Amino acid sequence: MVEGWHGWFGTINGVVLVTVAALPLAALVVWLLARRRGGGPAWRLSLAEVGIVYGTAPWVWMIMLPGDGAGVVPGRVSLVPLRDLLTVLASGPLTVAVQIVGNLLVFAALGFFGPMRFAALASVPRILALAAGCSVLVEVAQYVLRLDRVSSVDDVLLNTAGAGLAALASRRWRPAPASPDRPLPVPAAKR
């Protein structure tokens, strides 16, 4: 039975299957939250909240999966910027796609939806700072938990860049900033 659960929760394929299977549940949660809040601007808030969690949790789960030598081999650290990135670029197109695109997507949902939900995150520098902090926490956790993974500064750089690019891409869908002449809309009260 343990092997069965490991197949669902302890492998990359399992993470992908569970994430895809959870999509209808995520959509239902968006709908329920928006309905409870009264519709209108609440749809944007509800979508942003669920999008941050649904778009970030599977990536973090995936990069926290232990390798074959977890708990046995000591943690490894790579603090020289671009060293690991250059190694990946020399390893072939499939590895480049998986490593670079995957790292760009880790905190992309946070970068995309964060400014829609939290006005304090409505600037790219703030998103970059938040994503860098979250990425450093993940890399430190990989090292401390001895997951048989390399904690790399390049992962932090790519995770942060992905969040920043996603923040730029979401500018169109953010609510307009409040001004003294035009305050932000207040969601309707529950009736």
Enumerate the domain spans of the chain: 2-173
Flag whether pLDDT at 67 surpasses 50.
yes
Flag whether pLDDT at 68 surpasses 90.
no
Flag whether pLDDT at 29 surpasses 80.
yes
The per-residue pLDDT for 39 is 76
Per the model's pLDDT, the better-predicted residue between 134 and 4 turns out to be: 134
pTM: 0.84
CA 43 to CA 35: how far, in whole Å? 8
- Nearest 5°: the CA angle 70, 71, 77 is 70
Average per-residue pLDDT in the chain? 88
Q: What is the mean pLDDT of residues 130-145?
A: 97
DSSP secondary structure, 99-146, as one string: IIIHHHHTTHHHHHHHHHH-GGG-SHHHHHHHHHHHHHHHHHHHHHTT
Contact present, 89 and 83 (Cβ < 8 Å): no
Flag whether pLDDT at 1 surpasses 50.
no
